[in-house]
Homo-oligomer: A and B are copies of this chain.
Amino acid sequence: MLTQTESQQRVSRLQAKLQTKGVQAALLILPIDVYYFAGTRQNAVLWIPADGLPMLLVRKSLSRAREESPITDIRPFPPSKEFASVFNEDQLSIGMTFDAVPVQQHSFYTRALPGRSFVDISMIVREVMSVKSPFELEQQKYSASKLASVFAEVPQFLKAGMRELDLSAEMEYRLRKAGHEGYIRMRAFNQELFFGLAVSSGGVNSGFFDGPVTGTGLSSVSPHGASYDEIQVSQPILMDFVGVFNGYIADMTRMFVIGTLDPELQRAFDVALTIQEMVRQAMKPGTICEELFLAAASMAEQAGLGSCFMGMPGEQAKFVGHGVGLELDQLPVLAKGFAVTLQANQVIAVEPKFVIPGKGAIGIENTFIVTDEGGLRLSDFPDEIVFLDA
């Protein structure tokens, strides 16, 4: 449950940014935006004036929103005719998160609140959400510990001859029983993800997903994640799974091999560990995000692996880490063109990976907190490749 104190702190941080930008109120309608500030994911709209108390207008369920939310002013969603009258007439510049709000919704509110101008506050809201409170960091540590505990069980169920799908299903089943909430929120318009990836070298494929490894998936309509491909001995098996517990995300990748591993893949893995450690040491407030990607890409290049860093040759992702929290794709991104500085208590999944044509995908991923001493790991689960007997 979100406490009233924490809700107020989050609201205040947004209000400061609204005032700086000259926006007089935020009208938040994306469920996870509403949840972050109001502590409920019921079907509701949250109004946050740049100065004053927030108001939550609930479509469904009003009773449950009242049980869950510390917001003091909670009302039923007004009928169209009365809608405008519940808002202060002096607040003329209204912010919405245009990255996620559909055109129809935007049109509805511009008609319902005539005479106002609507502006995009996606980046403001995402910046506020990127810096975690002590409560949120505890949630993400919990998520990482649960995720790691299921990763620890992989040697019990990974067998040669099983399909990637079977491996993924075993992982998903254990995560669910541990309290994984299932649905993984992503903010980007055209992204979709189900739990994660269990990909052997047979299942590596190119794909739509904004990440280094895609997987073949089960069909052209769900072309991502595990496939029907059977897992063979001496293949690299990449398992990249997202933990979602109480809404909070930890992201983690580990490698498994039944038998022995091609030395080129082992060398690429060692380079990935070196890149991860370089990034970890530099994850301090003030570091420029882009520079971490450029340094990582340079290390891959020097190791002769530049063309397969972060994806199939020609389809390489241009980042080495991404913010995680209530969404898998939060700010900041350790990416080319992302010239902003890291802030303390941002949480970032760092995932140096390589896709070597004909051999498979390999790499590492851990989630870190940005601190003055560099990245602090959410979980201390060992990084090493797990070798099982063939």
**Chain A residues with a Cβ under 8 A of chain B:** 1-2, 29-31, 35, 39-44, 59-61, 63-64, 68, 96, 98-107, 120, 122, 165-166, 168-169, 172-173, 176-177, 179, 181-183, 185, 189-190, 192-195, 205-208, 210, 214, 217-223, 225, 228, 244, 246-247, 315, 326
Nearest CB on B from A106, distance (A): 5
Contact A190 B99, beta carbon cutoff 8 Å? no
Contact B31 A207, beta carbon cutoff 8 Å? no
Nearest CB on B from A387, distance (A): 26
Nearest CB on B from A177, distance (A): 5
Contact A219 B246, beta carbon cutoff 8 Å? yes
Nearest CB on B from A86, distance (A): 20
Contact B207 A61, beta carbon cutoff 8 Å? yes
Contact A221 B208, beta carbon cutoff 8 Å? no
Contact B190 A219, beta carbon cutoff 8 Å? no
Contact B176 A168, beta carbon cutoff 8 Å? yes
Contact B103 A208, beta carbon cutoff 8 Å? no
Chain B residues within 8 Å of A193, by CB: 183
Name which residue of chain B comes closest to A179, CB basis: B218
6 residue pairs bridging A and B, Cβ less than 8 Å apart: A39-B220, A99-B102, A181-B221, A183-B192, A183-B222, A219-B246
Kindly state the separation between the CA atoms of A15 and B150 in the bound complex, as whole angstroms: 50
Kindly state the separation between the CA atoms of A326 and B219 in the bound complex, as whole angstroms: 13
Q: Interface majority SS on A: helix, strand, loop or mixed?
A: loop
Contact A326 B221, beta carbon cutoff 8 Å? yes
Kindly state the separation between the CA atoms of A101 and B179 in the bound complex, as whole angstroms: 33
Smallest CB-CB A-B distances: 10 pairs: A221-B247, A182-B194, A61-B206, A98-B103, A181-B222, A43-B208, A169-B176, A173-B173, A68-B220, A183-B194
Chain B residues within 8 Å of A176, by CB: 165, 168-169, 172-173
Chain B residues within 8 Å of A206, by CB: 60-61, 63-64
Q: For the complex formed by this chain, how many copies does it contain in all? A: 2
The answer to whether residues A166 and B172 also contact, given A64-B206, A101-B103, A103-B102 and a CB cut-off of 8 A, is: no
The answer to whether residues A61 and B208 also contact, given A39-B220, A165-B176 and a CB cut-off of 8 A, is: yes
Instruction: Select A99's contact among B104, B165, B185, B218, beta carbons within 8 Å.
Output: B104
Contact B208 A182, beta carbon cutoff 8 Å? no
Instruction: Select A96's contact among B103, B247, B326, beta carbons within 8 Å.
Output: B103
Name which residue of chain B comes closest to A248, CB basis: B221
Name which residue of chain B comes closest to A58, CB basis: B208
Contact A218 B103, beta carbon cutoff 8 Å? no
Chain B residues within 8 Å of A101, by CB: 102-103
Q: Which of A29, A30, A122, A177 has the most CB of B within 10 A?
A: A177
Chain B residues within 8 Å of A102, by CB: 98-103, 189
Contact A195 B208, beta carbon cutoff 8 Å? no
Chain B residues within 8 Å of A68, by CB: 220, 223
Name which residue of chain B comes closest to A69, CB basis: B220
Nearest CB on B from A311, distance (A): 9
Chain B residues within 8 Å of A205, by CB: 64
Contact A247 B219, beta carbon cutoff 8 Å? yes
